[in-house]
């Protein structure tokens, strides 16, 4: 399963997880259609969304289990690098 950097979808858990991940699926996470009936015909899009839902459920459970078992990792902050002279 591929993961992408993000933390917007974790809700309450996201408040505790500083650097979180977003589950991906097998293709673009979207369905197509002009009406709800059209969307029901987009079998590829629906399959992609089911895979996304399973991956998200797995990751949410895995993060919760890991948090309970290991706690949260430490985070270093406030280091800043700037090269204003271009060197």
State pTM to two decimals.
0.61
The C-alpha atoms of residue 49 and residue 69 are separated, in whole angstroms, by 30
- CA 26 to chain CA mean position, Å: 14
pLDDT digits (tens, 9 = 90+) for 5-55: 444 444 555 554 545 577 888 888 899 999 999 999 999 999 999 999 999
58 touches 23 (CB < 8 A): yes
The set of residues, in sequence order, having a beta carbon less than 8 Å from that of 48 and lying 6+ positions away, is 25, 26, 27, 28, 29, 30, 31
């Amino acid at each position: 399963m591929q993961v992408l950097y993000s933390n917007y979808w974790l809700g309450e858990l996201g408040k505790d997880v500083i650097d979180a991940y977003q589950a991906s699926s097998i293709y673009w996470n979207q369905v197509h259609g002009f009406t709800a009936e059209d969307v029901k015909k987009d079998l590829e899009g629906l399959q992609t969304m089911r895979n996304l839902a399973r991956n998200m459920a797995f990751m949410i459970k895995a993060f919760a289990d890991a948090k309970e078992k290991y706690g949260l990792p430490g985070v270093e902050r406030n280091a800043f690098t700037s090269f204003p002279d271009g060197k």
